[in-house]
Amino acid sequence: MLKKLFGKKESVVERITAPINGKVVDITEVPDPVFSQKMMGEGIAIEPSDGNVVSPVDGEVVQVFPTKHAIGLKTKSGLELLIHIGLDTVNLDGEGFEAFVKAGDKVKRGDKLVSFDLEIINEKATSTISPLIITNMDEVVENVEKEFTENAKTSETEVLIVTVK
């Protein structure tokens, strides 16, 4: 009862599923120091087996980059996620990408966000590996558990279990 009186809220657990089908690896394995050294935040990365990106959570689209290579999401609990498709894909200037949502859209787990041409990224970008990052770790995250698998399925395979403060 005292917790209710003094505004201490219960922790919320967010179960984040794979936004892309493929092999899940630790963020430290991404061949780009901005991601591998966790400069943007904690997370995982997926080596994609196809070119579809779906929402890994119920939430709101907060940003779709003009080049469509990255998308930002925010959950009801305040957790902010960045899905970054491939490495150095900003240089493709949108080539091979199609967005299905825009900033302000509400999404449910499994809703299609972006599609991308895996062959174009393979050919013209540094890597197809696609990070999923928690961008506001310090502000809202109490604990993160990572799950790794060879064959993650979108909307089914949990890749991050996050306890939000």
d(CA 117, CA 121): 6
Q: What is the pLDDT confidence band of residue 9, given thresholds at 50, 70 and 90?
A: low
**Catalytic, out of 46, 82, 84, 89:** 84
Higher pLDDT, 3 or 154: 154
Q: What is the pLDDT confidence band of residue 28, given thresholds at 50, 70 and 90?
A: very high
User: What is this structure's pTM?
Assistant: 0.94
**pLDDT over 70, % of the chain:** 95
- Report, as an integer, the average pLDDT of 119-136: 97
* Domains located in the chain, CATH noted: 8-164 (2.70.70.10)
| 106-107 vs 158-164, strand pairing mode | unpaired
Active site residue 84: yes
Which CA distances in Å does 44 have to 26, 91, 106, 114, 126?
Answer: 5, 23, 24, 19, 18
pLDDT given for residue 11 in this prediction:
85
pLDDT given for residue 1 in this prediction:
44
